[in-house]
Amino acid sequence: MAEELILSDNLSKEEKYQQLIPQIKALVEGENNEIANLCNIMAALKHTFNWLWIGVYTVRRDELILGPFQGPIACTRIQLGRGVSGTAWHKKEVIIVPNVDEFPDHIICNSASKSEIVLPIMNSNGDVYMILDADSENLNEFDKIDEKYLSEIIEIIKSLP
């Protein structure tokens, strides 16, 4: 297993993802504990992009419960359909929020968060069992590039034993 991420200087966002993703694949290879792998994936993303917060919530009945993350402490439970994450779960779609103040039901876990992306993670039946949430201190941080590459990271998460 790799001990350290290797990222060149002065990369674009897309290039960072392209260097990071093979390293994430190598990182989880040979480890069969999902929590351990999720922790390292979140650490790798936080280290690479320095977002305010990156983590997962897992679905338990009608709630999302906080899972492995990096960043400041966060809300532990979110109801179905509430906030950006509960809405992404309910609608089964990626939500990019350029300015959280303009999202009607945004849940403030940390007042420093200005923009957000949430991606639902579906099992083979099409049921959402987890969501991936990233928060930034900058407005307009997330776009289609993040959606594309975070979706690739979701494929890695789905393949975890």
Binding site for ligand SME (CB under 6 A): 53, 74-75, 78, 83-86, 106-107, 109, 113, 116, 133, 135
How far is it, in rounded angstroms, from Cα 118 to Cα 112?
17
Task: Closer to ligand SME by CB, 25 or 47: give it.
Answer: 47
Q: Is 113 helix (H, G, I), strand (E, B) or coil?
A: coil
8-state DSSP, 93: S
CB of 145 to ligand SME, least distance (A): 20
Decide if 136 contacts 113 (C-beta within 8 A). Answer: yes
Measured CA to CA in angstroms, residue 127 lies from 60, 87, 90, 92 at distances of 12, 14, 10, 8
Task: Closer to ligand SME by CB, 48 or 85: give it.
Answer: 85
Task: Closer to ligand SME by CB, 56 or 154: give it.
Answer: 56
Please identify the residue of the shown chain whose CB is closest to the bound ligand SME. 83
Task: Closer to ligand SME by CB, 84 or 154: give it.
Answer: 84
Strand order in the sheet with 53-60: 77-79, 63-70, 53-60, 128-136, 115-122, 95-97
Residues near 155 by Cβ (< 8 Å), separated by ≥ 6?
none
CB of 21 to ligand SME, least distance (A): 23
Task: Closer to ligand SME by CB, 11 or 75: give it.
Answer: 75
